[in-house]
Amino acid sequence: MLTHSPFLLTGTHHGRAFEADATYQADGHPKPVVVFVHGFKGFKDWGHFPLLADFFAERGFVFVKLNLSHNGIVVGGTGDLEDLDAFGRNNFSIELNDIGQVIDALFTPGATPIPAAEMDLSRLYLVGHSRGGGLVLLKAAEDRRVQAVATWAAIADIDQRWPQAVLDEWRRAGVLHVPNSRTGQQLPLHYQILEDYLANRPRLDIPHNVRRRVRQPLLVVHGDDDETVPLEAARTLHQAQARRRAADSAGRRPHVWRRAPLARNRVARARPHCGRAHRRVFPAPGVSTAVTAYLLLGGNLGERAALLHAAKAYLAAFAGEVLAASALYETAAWGREDQPNFLNQALALRTTLPPAALLEQCLAAELQAGRERRELWGSRTLDVDILMYGDEVIEQPGLSVPHSRLAERRFALVPLAEIAPHLRHPQLGLSVAELLAQCPDPLPVQLWPGNN
């Protein structure tokens, strides 16, 4: 029978209470301890995490999971994200200190309900999911009590390299909102999270710390088709670890492996297989998985040009590198004539995001512009469509790529032809220029006079 022991801690740096719990078999024998850290917009009891705790406990571990103190969960509340003010005031230093406080409590007799006889703290391991994966790497870099680390779909860098326009607006407004597609909430990120990163960059630089300071065995696990964190992040971590090993072998900082409870220095790649996770362990190659996606921005409400410019800056910050942008084009509304003219612009975006994650960022850009979906083909502040994603053909709920109406929309083909006339439609076999030449759409598309 498994023992489930909840406990409460109060942050020594911020005074906010946060919950944790331990799952284990109470047999009086010392067991290795795993501390599990959830990701961005996550919490300790999200999805399958309780089942994960049972799985580890049944195999002879003490499994500890925590709610990071500022993740939006309220002690004694609904169990889901509800304190958005705390969420907005979270930062990476707070989260690292929370993890450190849990580790300190495990090493302090009586600070948790777990009997000391049940724990072998010489075998303390950290596991983190998504953003939590980046956090456990940083904590392992600064805490030698941690003996091994495993990351699952971990981020590889905190620095998002936001364009200056986004930083200026974020600084001016003091807050940036990101969507929670699961709940429909708009989650605030106060500018202080960036200030915290800049003030504590040596502590929070993941690639640097993996190269220079993570001495423990490391297992990196990542799904091929993860919808939030691209597989390239796993390769980045593996390459950082490989450079550290090269430095060790050159004799600069020799390391002696004392134990190897987890597979070392490999990327574990997970695929769905017959209803179960099939894992392959392989040295990550150095090739990039980035693709070029083609997007169409459009809007006919508000300061149209300014909203398109802000959307381009947002996508450059959160979705990839803008390789090319067309001029702005003006056209009458397609499908509905009783509304103002639209401005449209095509973008070529180099991205490592999977299609579903790119779509989520497109929807987030729309929400940032105040988009409200009230009627089909109605007026809007911003619309962001994925026209093509490399040469892939995708049909899934809410996403059809290439865009199903691309060939019949002159307002999309004209700006796209400006930046990619030879781009070939993977289903129709025609180039964009050829599609434009035979497009049946009668609506004229004109260069907007306000183009610089």
| Structural domain includes residue 206 | yes
| Structural domain includes residue 452 | no
**Residues 250 and 347 placed together within one structural domain of the fold:** no
Q: Which domain holds residue 393?
A: 291-447
> Which residue is catalytic, options 21, 205, 226, 383?
383
| Structural domain includes residue 183 | yes
| Structural domain includes residue 242 | yes
Catalytic: 380?
A: yes
| Structural domain includes residue 165 | yes
- CATH number for the domain that contains residue 396: 3.30.70.560
* Strand 218-223 with 266-273, pairing: parallel
**Residues 299 and 380 placed together within one structural domain of the fold:** yes
pLDDT of residue 57: 97
Cα 3 to chain centroid distance, Å, stands at 33
**Residues 180 and 304 placed together within one structural domain of the fold:** no
**Residues 172 and 249 placed together within one structural domain of the fold:** yes
> Which residue is catalytic, options 266, 371, 409, 410?
371
| Structural domain includes residue 392 | yes
pLDDT of residue 243: 66
**Residues 233 and 381 placed together within one structural domain of the fold:** no
Question: Based on the structure, what is the number of domains in the chain?
Answer: 2
pLDDT tens sequence across 367-382: 878 776 655 556 888 9
**Residues 193 and 312 placed together within one structural domain of the fold:** no
**Residues 223 and 83 placed together within one structural domain of the fold:** yes
Cα 167 to chain centroid distance, Å, stands at 19
**Residues 278 and 297 placed together within one structural domain of the fold:** no
Query: ∠178-310-330 over CA atoms, to 5°?
Result: 130
Whether the per-residue pLDDT at 186 is higher than 50: the answer is yes
- At CB < 8 A and 24+ separation, what contacts does 299-304 make? 299/342, 299/343, 299/369, 299/380, 299/381, 299/382, 299/383, 300/333, 300/339, 300/340, 300/341, 300/342, 300/343, 300/379, 300/380, 301/340, 301/379, 301/380, 301/381, 302/369, 302/370, 302/381, 304/342, 304/343
Among 249, 282, 315, where does a domain finish? 282
pLDDT of residue 177: 86
Whether the per-residue pLDDT at 149 is higher than 90: the answer is yes
| Structural domain includes residue 262 | yes
- CATH number for the domain that contains residue 74: 3.40.50.1820
**Residues 206 and 154 placed together within one structural domain of the fold:** yes
Supply 369's token pair.
């512009």
pLDDT tens sequence across 343-399: 999 999 999 888 988 998 898 888 878 776 655 556 888 999 999 999 999 988 788
Please give the DSSP secondary-structure letter assigned to residue 227: S
**Residues 163 and 218 placed together within one structural domain of the fold:** yes
pLDDT tens sequence across 396-413: 878 899 998 999 999 999
Mean pLDDT of 59-63: 97
Average pLDDT of the chain to the nearest whole number: 86
**Residues 133 and 40 placed together within one structural domain of the fold:** yes
**Residues 267 and 132 placed together within one structural domain of the fold:** yes
Q: What percent of the chain has pLDDT over 70?
A: 87
> Which residue is catalytic, options 98, 226, 385, 441?
385
Q: DSSP letters along 157-185, please?
A: -S-----HHHHHHHHHHSEEEEEETTTTE
Among 282, 308, 330, where does a domain finish? 282
Supply 114's token pair.
């777990």
Whether the per-residue pLDDT at 187 is higher than 70: the answer is yes
Supply 265's token pair.
């220095």
Catalytic: 385?
A: yes
pLDDT tens sequence across 238-296: 888 876 655 554 444 433 333 333 333 344 444 333 333 333 333 333 334 689 999 99
pLDDT tens sequence across 285-326: 333 468 999 999 999 888 899 899 988 988 988 888 899 999
Among 241, 261, 282, where does a domain finish? 282
